[in-house]
Structure 1
């Protein structure tokens, strides 16, 4: 699932981002602090869920939600606000949930679980045929006809060319709007997919999603530098770029690296 957060208070935005990362597989792709900017974005892009504050500039959250409710394909809307009095109006607009600030961690975790379940349920008609096909081929002994990700060869794109690359030659990848930037020792490639999609192509034993915007090759880590809030910055062999480990990924990273 892809999400955007609409919030004009930085601490509240960062806390919500952390909770979404910690308790779900939802990918937060963009942040906004102005209602009109959200509307412009949605005219050209699709998202699955909007975490929406009510008291925002230009176009408040209620007016924005009312406009979105008229869309043919509507994202889930979760209101995040300090104001109780708008709850009835929110549910008239068929909002998925109405979360009050300050955030309650258990409340957020429960909402995110229900949100992911609802998304799977609402998209079952899209995914079911593929599952049935795979099940049928398995029963017929034809599983090998379905492509797998067993190969460590990755097709990277540069200047309209496809460069077949050994996965271990990839140092890290960064989410950048609707594409993913992939870096080897000497080259930069642009992949026309989200970082979540690109991450699924990589060998799990080599790569770790250390941040919502970063995936890193564990074998390329040269130095692990303690950072604020008990997080880390990673320095890589051969490169000057430093890769952050987000707060929600620290526990898993320590286990993998035996820290």
Structure 2
């Protein structure tokens, strides 16, 4: 299983170094990186990851407070603190952090951590994070067992979710948040409170009002909006 990670680090060079080491020595997929705690928190409210590499002294919400908020999530990613300060180590491990890396980073230390992370997350992955390859969708009073990779996008519709594939519109008998638990975060992004897209189906990204975007997908006609609150995460994800 390939793990998905988020980096929260306000120093550009430190962020680039950590990204380089993760990509060189592991198969961990970095889905996004933020230099601000509040932006990271908003992203995590709508998107699941397995690991968060978290600096402590970051803008808006410091790393310790962000970790405490993450600990309240139904799906709790593993936390790795990366910081230049030793004094927060006790608090970090009380929050069940997997590790506490001091800057400047030691390459061998990071390599050992990446191996441990792969083993640790796989061994303790909660049942709520187990994702199936299919989801049951309704159409014309029939249940269609649908591969998640066939889903182009999903749109919230009160207590159910309208799901679109290349074959048309179906209904998932669950909320958008419940559906997101079934979808791999490496492929699906909640670009708006009411919309989720399969990033592999994105055909065009159209600049829109207030510096936002509209998304044109390959297999459906409807354009999908990106909300302002998800704009930074979207740009990071799509490398804009």
C-alpha contact 1:3 1:51 (8 A) present in aligned 2: yes
Secondary structure (helix, strand or coil) at the match of 1:64 reads: helix
Q: Within 5 Å, which residues of 2 pair with 1:124-163?
A: 160-161=165-166
CA distance in structure 2 between the partners assigned to 1:78 and 1:190 by the alignment: 39
1:40 to 39, 42, 46: 42
TM-score for the superposition, normalised by structure 2? 0.55
Question: Would you say 1:76 and 2:83 are equivalent positions?
Answer: no
Match of 1:105 in 2: 107
CA contact (8 A) 1:179 1:190 kept: no
TM-score (norm 1): 0.52
Deviations 1:198-238 (A, max 9, x none): xxxxxxxxxxxxxxx89xxxxxxxxxxxxxxxxxxxxxxxx
What's the offset of the Cα at 1:160? 4.6
**2:199 maps to which of 177, 180, 187:** 180
The SS at the match of 2:199 is: strand
Deviation for aligned residue 1:120? 1.6
| Larger RCO (CA under 8 A, 6+ residues apart) | 2
Alignment-derived partner of residue 8 in structure 2: 6
1:20-31 matches, cutoff 5 A: 20-31=22-33
Higher mean C-alpha displacement, 44-53 vs 117-126: 117-126
Higher percent of residues as helix: 1
Q: Is the 8 A contact 1:156 1:190 kept in 2?
A: no
Q: Answer whether contact 1:3 1:30 (CA < 8 A) is retained.
A: yes
Offset at residue 107 of structure 1 (A): 0.4
User: Deviations along 1:146-205, whole A, 9 cap, x unmatched?
Assistant: xxxxxxxx989799536xxxxxxxxxxxx7956334699xxx8479xxxxxxxxxxxxxx
**Preserved CA contact (<8 Å) 1:52 1:78:** yes
Report the equivalent of 1:88. Answer: 90
* Matched-pair contact (CA < 8 Å) for 1:51–1:77: yes
Q: Give the aligned partner of residue 119 of structure 2.
A: 117
**Gap runs ≥5 in structure 2:** 133-148, 154-163, 168-186, 190-196, 204-216, 221-236
Alignment correspondent of 1:224: none
Larger Cα-atom Rg? 1
How has the CA–CA distance of structure 1 residues 161 and 14 changed in structure 2, closer, same or farther, with 3 Å as cutoff? same
After TM superposition, the structure 1 = structure 2 runs for residues 205-220 of structure 1, keeping only pairs within 5 Å, are none
Which residue of 8, 15, 18 corresponds with 1:16? 18
- Of 57, 60, 71, 1:58 maps to 60
CA distance in 2, matches of 1:40, 1:103: 27
- Cα distance in 2 for partners of 1:82, 1:90 equals 14
Post-superposition shift, 1:69? 1.6
Q: In terms of mean alpha carbon deviation, does 117-126 or 89-98 score higher?
A: 117-126
Shift of 1:22: 1.0
Question: Using a 3 Å threshold, how does the CA distance of structure 1 residues 74 and 190 change in structure 2: closer, same or farther?
Answer: farther
